[in-house]
Amino acid sequence: MLTGIVANRTRCSSLTALNVTYMVTVMTANSRMASAVHIMSFVAYAGDEGTTSEAIAKSLQTNPVVVRKILKLLEREGLVALCQGRHGGVGLRRPASRITLGQIYKAVESETGIFAMRSQVHEDARWPAR
């Protein structure tokens, strides 16, 4: 009986560790998306005058480097325009009404992310499963 309890505790401990690892991965992905949406909202609210990564970082209560990394991802997808230097800043490349959450998600989440599509599917794989 004691052996079964010890084995059960070991199994629960590893399951908990697995869940914690999964939760950290999911939280990282989700926080990057949430931060990107916050950044895009902040930039849209700033309007034509634009804003700076420092101002956005203060709003997000994070380091400007974190904001700049996300801004680079958003720029790569053509969502924001970045100007470096003392008089630089960030602005939207198109009207906010033409930017979707899907476009923001695509910009900041990797293809190996939580909702990634598989590049290849087994030939016998069918939906619904039989």
For 9-58, how does the pLDDT look when each residue is reduced to its tens digit (9 = 90+)? Answer: 444 444 455 444 444 444 455 688 999 999 999 999 999 888 999 999 99
List, for residues 72-128, the tens digit of each pLDDT value: 999 999 999 999 888 889 999 999 999 999 999 999 987 555 555 545 544 444 444
Which DSSP letter does residue 70 get? H
Boundaries of every domain in the chain:
32-108
Contact indicator for 44, 128 with CB cutoff of 8 Å: no
Options 1.10.10.10, 2.60.120.330, 3.30.70.3270, 3.30.365.10; CATH for 32-108 is: 1.10.10.10
CB < 8 Å & 24+ apart, contacts of 123-130: none
Q: How far apart are the C-alpha atoms of 67 and 80, rounded to whole Å?
A: 13
- Phi and psi at residue 8, to the nearest 5°: -65, -40
pTM here is: 0.65
